[in-house]
Structure 1
């Protein structure tokens, strides 16, 4: 019976997330991840074709993990305003529970070398982006918002407002205040009521 790998992919990606949170995407090198995980470099090259594949997986795993809860929040109620408020709350609560991943998401996919990603990695990223845009449009439709300005207001409410609250605190190196989820929910609710 084969022995299980000592350095599995999630462990290596966790080390890469920590490095990205501390030093940004530039800090995520094959050697740095191997050293952080206490793994031989071969363990990384066995799982990732190179740094580009590693960066893609770090970014995509983080985004997909966040989006899973975000989409669930948007489907959490038949009341579209309540669902929008739940999504805003999720952004803040997830960021509080996953500070390293939230710090990583302050960057963009391009910062993680998106132009060099494989076709499969780009497809996954595009699919996630399409799901977000579709969710915004569906919520806007349910709210009766049809014009470009209304759709922009919904996007501002469920994406930009909670993210700006998180971003301000993470960039300042300060913890999210205890009332952050409630504040994000209230601001989102006010925008969705309009």
Structure 2
């Protein structure tokens, strides 16, 4: 009878998340093995390369983040849904700091070309459902889904929040409670721009 594996993939990724919080992009497979108290080969048995390991961590963290984001975007009132999606960014990052830091390890397009096989496929398509939800929200909020309006919705729902939380993630700073209000106010203001089209001048 085969001996059961000592470490599950999720257990290894949990250790990787702790190391990333300490060393960010300088984290290595050896660091993760040390965290687990095992030789590096035990990690390589599950994850063939450094990018496969930390890319899998990135993917898991993004998927966890998307759960609440998709729920917010599906809200019945499109304006409130957009603001709720924006506020989900600091709320998630505060409650799940390790996942939030892990999401800053890679850019999606870079990682998709760095890893291979099913992981590359999963990374390439991880944002598909969110993209579709943004298109639907734009249609419900503005009655249109042109390029500029979709970009505005993305800034209001996600990029605004990302910009405001980023300075806190890898610093030894707690996110202040007012940050959620700041993100909500900025989101509402950005959304208002779309009420007076055309967005492009000229």
Name stretches of at least 5 consecutive residues in structure 2 with no aligned partner: 194-202
Decide which of 78, 81, 85 is 2:79's aligned counterpart: 81
Matches within 5 A, 1:10-21: 10-21=10-21
Contact 2:86 2:183 in 1 (8 A): yes
Range that drifts further, 153-162 or 102-111:
102-111
The separation in 1 between residues aligned to 2:60 and 2:108, in whole angstroms, is 15
Higher helix share: 1
Within the alignment, does 1:93 sit opposite 2:62 as a pair? no
Partners of 1:68 and 1:79 in 2: CA distance: 19
* 8 Å contact kept, 2:111–2:120: no
Distance, in Å, in 1 between the alignment partners of 2:47 and 2:147 is 42
- Conservation of the 8 A alpha-carbon contact between 2:111 and 2:123: no
- TM-score, length-scaled by structure 1: 0.87
Counterpart in the other structure of 1:9: 9
CA distance in 1, matches of 2:150, 2:111: 30
Aligned residues: 192
Q: Equivalent residue of 1:47, what SS?
A: coil
- Deviating beyond 6 angstroms after TM superposition, the runs of 4 or more aligned structure 1 residues are none
Query: How far apart, in 1, do the equivalents of 2:186 and 2:174 lie?
Result: 20
**Which of the numbers 110, 116, 132 marks the counterpart of 1:134?**
132
Match of 1:24 in 2: 24
Q: Which runs of 5+ in 1 are unaligned?
A: none
Q: Is the 8 A contact 2:108 2:124 kept in 1?
A: no
Asked if the contact 2:73/2:134 (under 8 Å) is kept, the reply is no
**Hey, what does 2:113 align to over in structure 1?**
115
Q: 1:172, CA displacement in angstroms?
A: 4.7
The equivalent of 2:158 in structure 1 is 159
